Amino acid sequence: MLRIAVILSILVSLAQAEDGVGWKMMQKIHKYNLYSRCWGDEAMAKFAVMVAKATEFCGEVQSPTFGGIKPVNLPAAIDNTQLEALRGLLSNPALATLLKGNQANDWQPFGSGFGRKKRALLEPTSEDKEEFMNDVLDFKAGMATKMGNMSCVLTQLEMLDAAGNINMKAYSMASLSPLLSQTPAGSDPEFLQMMVDRFGDCYDLSRSFPQTALDRHPNPMMKIYGRHHIFFKCAMKVEDHCCVQFQLKQWVELMYGPITQEKIQKLGFPENKYDAATMAIKVMHESMSPEEKKVDDFFWQFSKM
């Protein structure tokens, strides 16, 4: 019985760790630790405090306006034309089809066998229709508030300028070098230049992305914020990838000595020592025997239970 109780307690703890909060917390821990190795514990602690203070400040001001600044024009509140369109939608018989339910067999949504089953129709009342319209209004207002608050936070962190544009000065060598030159990764000018160049690529990508594609996006916010979204997602991936490469280089040099230009030329690796370290790791992984991979997975991969 004791063994069963222990097993059950382990399963319960695993189930709890798999919920949304547990998974997000694990992601947060991994990202924080990755950046801590890259920029140092002190720099990460300062950044975490900056994010917390910016979030607190923006939560106390009226979004999207803060400090007299409106960085991005948000969609206007729903108007009479949109209300009439919603009323037309709700009066359309097609909506009733979407509200169909299988009252006779709730747990068999496709029915039994291959024949079509008659289903009862839910007849939406006028109260139901008004509630649906209110939900749409609440959703739109909530989305605008979230985007306004996010714009506020990004401006406080100087990732956006006062006009709501991407602040590329914050991603330049002139800004990052004095800020990060004393950190483990930032102390290497080659690393910082690599990251700055890739930030520039992200900006160019966001500027060249077709507006027509953003206009067709199912999320209407992408029409306005699409280029910002593309840049910041790309920039975050760049920082993740660069910090991973920094740690891979550290690991390779710890095990096999410094990565010199002589070694790079002899092996035909990329000239960038961080790209060379990444390729070295790939070569070592591909050359492992099945037995070695099994041992490596046992100690270094996440449990799949």
pLDDT in the model for residue 237: 97
pLDDT in the model for residue 148: 74
Taking the model in full, what pTM does it have? 0.69
The ranges of the chain with pLDDT < 50 are 2, 5-8, 10-12, 64-78, 95-96, 98-117, 120
pLDDT in the model for residue 181: 93
pLDDT in the model for residue 304: 66
pLDDT in the model for residue 19: 60
Instruction: List, for residues 216-231, the tens digit of each pLDDT value.
Output: 888 777 888 899 999 9
pLDDT in the model for residue 8: 44
Give me the DSSP letters along the chain: -HHHHHHHHHHHHHHHHTSHHHHHHHHHHHHHHHHHHHH-HHHHHHHHHHHHHHHHHHHHS-SS-BTTB--SPPPPPP-HHHHHHHHHHHHSHHHHHHT---TT-TT-TT-SSSSPPP-PPP---HHHHHHHHHHHHHHHHHHHHHHHHHHHHHHHTTSB-TTSSB-GGGGSHHHHHHHHTTSTTTT-HHHHHHHHHHHHHHHHHHHHS-HHHHHTSSSTHHHHHHHHHHHHHHHHHHHHHHHHHHHHHHHHHHHH----HHHHHHHT--SSHHHHHHHHHHHHHHT--HHHHHHHHHHHSPP--
